[in-house]
Amino acid sequence: MGDLKMNCCVECFSDPQIQAMISANGKQGTCDFCKKPDVFICPVDEPSDVSDLISEVLNVYEEAEEGEPLFSTIIEDWNIFRKELSSSFDLLAAFCSVIYGDNGETHDRKVRIPKSYADEYGIFSGHTWHEFSDAIETKNRFCSGLFRADQLASFLGYSITKYTKGTELFRARISDDIEGYPKEEMGQPPTRKRKSGRVNPEGIGVLYLTSDEATALREVRASAFDFVTIGIFELLKDIKVVNISGLNSISPAVYSSSIESLAANIRAFSDIAREIAKPLRRNDSSLEYLPTQFITEFIKSKGYAGVSYTSTMGTGGTNIAVFDESLFECKSVHVVEISSIEYSYSKVK
User: How far apart, in whole angstroms, are the C-alpha atoms of residue 136 and residue 139?
Assistant: 6
Q: Residues 137-164: pLDDT tens digits?
A: 999 888 888 999 999 999 999 999 999 9
Helices (H) then strands (E): counts for the chain: 10, 13
Distances (CA, A) of 88 to 33, 76, 187: 8, 11, 45
Closest by CA to 172, choosing from 243, 245, 236, 227, is 227
Query: HSE-up of 279 (CA within 13 Å, CB side)?
Result: 12
Q: Residues 29-68: pLDDT tens digits?
A: 999 999 999 999 999 988 889 999 999 999 999 999 899 9
Residue 193 predicted with pLDDT over 80: no
Say how many C-beta atoms besides its own lie within 10 A of residue 182's C-beta.
Answer: 11
Q: How confident is the model at residue 246 (pLDDT cuts 50, 70, 90)?
A: very high
Return mean pLDDT, the chain: 91
Q: Output 291 or 315, whichever has higher pLDDT.
A: 291
pLDDT of residue 222: 85
Q: Position 335: which residue type?
A: V
pLDDT of residue 87: 94
pLDDT of residue 2: 45
Q: Any idea where the domains of the chain sit in the sequence? A: 7-112, 160-337
Task: Tell me phi and psi for residue 69, to 5 degrees.
Answer: -55, 135
User: How far apart, in whole angstroms, are the C-alpha atoms of residue 207 and residue 326?
Assistant: 9
Residue 105 predicted with pLDDT over 70: no
Contact 157, 255 (CB under 8 A): no
Q: Which long-range contacts (CB under 8 A, 24 or more apart) does 80-87 make?
A: 80/13, 80/14, 80/15, 80/18, 80/54, 80/252, 81/12, 81/13, 81/14, 82/11, 82/12, 82/13, 82/14, 82/34, 83/14, 85/12, 85/33, 85/34, 87/12, 87/33, 87/34, 87/35
pLDDT of residue 27: 93
Q: Residues 27-37: pLDDT tens digits?
A: 999 999 999 99
Alpha helix stretches (DSSP H) within the chain: 16-25, 49-58, 70-77, 87-100, 115-121, 129-138, 149-156, 213-219, 259-277, 290-301
- What one-character DSSP code corresponds to residue 166? T
Residue 234 predicted with pLDDT over 50: yes
User: How far apart, in whole angstroms, are the C-alpha atoms of residue 303 and residue 49?
Assistant: 36
Closest by CA to 271, choosing from 101, 132, 86, 112, is 132
User: How far apart, in whole angstroms, are the C-alpha atoms of residue 171 and residue 180?
Assistant: 13
Which residues lie closer than 8 Å to 284 by C-beta, 6 or more apart? none
Question: What is the model's pTM?
Answer: 0.89
Residue 291 predicted with pLDDT over 80: yes
